[in-house]
Structure 1
């Protein structure tokens, strides 16, 4: 990832997107490859934003340190985390994240303290972004190769964990997308669908911002 201060100096709203590196049965992580290809999806020119992408380690402590730091440095308008699921057949938009019951060891063989993301936090955090609306819109886009679905089960591993951390920072500006492995779809097709979802998410964030300003 580029220097945070340099990104801020460009004075454009920032969309921060992460993918995960290799783990277990995914020596090549589809989320990493698809996120790396987002630069070719014209998000910056189409939305008037600065796209910042980063591939994060599949480690609880690394994620717990990195995510709050990025929120502070970048002050992003939208944060979208992307992860792979071997069971996914679609682009899967996660609506919520869980705080407790993390029992699967990370790449370092470690677990989070007390098996929790934020021990004193709420059991579940829900994104203010309407994933059902985005799923409906994407499924009408005939140029996309992946269908899209909403989910409420991110899986109690690093995907769930990183999502909870971001929702704990800002529930209106955080989202998580599960993608299928590269054996099911090409990285280019996955990336195109992620970009379409990001555009819809960003539109919702701007709409929610406008509503909040009217209430002030």
Structure 2
């Protein structure tokens, strides 16, 4: 039976509340017939380069996941963003520990971008089943989310998907298609569930 690793990030400068923490915890409690027998492992990264470099290899070595489903916060997003590329780029911004890597690229001798190993169209279709706005994105930024994408490609896991989620209105009613109402934690749990099931199905097809 497959093992799926689901990750999120904690708070970071400018984002004292990161909704991916609650999202990952909700997915850890998920019980669906389609996931019967599947081992689901969850992890919340401290939003630091050191945590990604330390924790991701350790998680993969211990659990040997068949797929990664990673979530991060995009404060300006208006839709669920399924990232299709990891950019070889770094922002000169401090992480949650105050560290700045002090260079403009992740790997100086590597290409400018690398494709994420995932069934992008299947995940997009799954997300849109919820009638929430969802798009494919070619720009994961230059901060920790993009850095994790790059390291996930390096990891050799067969399927690795990264999803940027918007900020949430913590006390609003759930969003609807065509509505300008902000996303809620319930919305994120719905879309996360559909994508998790789709990724699980993709694992079983490969």
| TM-score, normalising length: structure 1 | 0.81
- What are structure 1's unaligned runs of at least 5 residues? 1-11, 210-216
Q: SS at the partner of 1:146?
A: coil
Q: Compute the displacement of 1:52 (Å).
A: 0.8
Matched, 1:22 2:8: no
Name 2:48's counterpart in structure 1.
59
- Aligned pairs, how many? 193
Name 1:170's counterpart in structure 2.
156
Deviation per residue, 1:19-75 (Å, 9 max, x gap): 1101123211011111111133325x4223111111111111111111122111110
Whole-angstrom CA distance in 1 between matches of 2:124 and 2:30? 19
| TM-score, normalising length: structure 2 | 0.84
The CA RMSD over aligned residues, in Å, is 2.0
Q: Compute the displacement of 1:147 (Å).
A: 2.2
Structure 1 segment 5-154 matched on structure 2, within 5 A: 12-43=1-32, 45-47=33-35, 48-112=37-101, 114-139=103-128, 141=129, 144=130, 146-154=132-140
Structure 1 segment 160-199 matched on structure 2, within 5 A: 160-170=146-156, 172-183=158-169, 184-199=182-197
Q: SS at the partner of 1:15?
A: strand
Q: Compute the displacement of 1:166 (Å).
A: 0.7
Q: SS at the partner of 1:107?
A: coil
Deviation per residue, 1:155-177 (Å, 9 max, x gap): 11000001110111126311101
Whole-angstrom CA distance in 2 between matches of 1:96 and 1:72? 24
Whole-angstrom CA distance in 2 between matches of 1:23 and 1:74? 27
Larger relative helix fraction: 1
Whole-angstrom CA distance in 1 between matches of 2:162 and 2:27? 15
- What are structure 2's unaligned runs of at least 5 residues? 170-181
Structure 1: which 4+ aligned runs deviate by more than 4 Å?
none
Q: Is the 8 A contact 1:80 1:174 kept in 2?
A: yes
Q: SS at the partner of 2:6?
A: strand
Q: Compute the displacement of 1:115 (Å).
A: 4.1
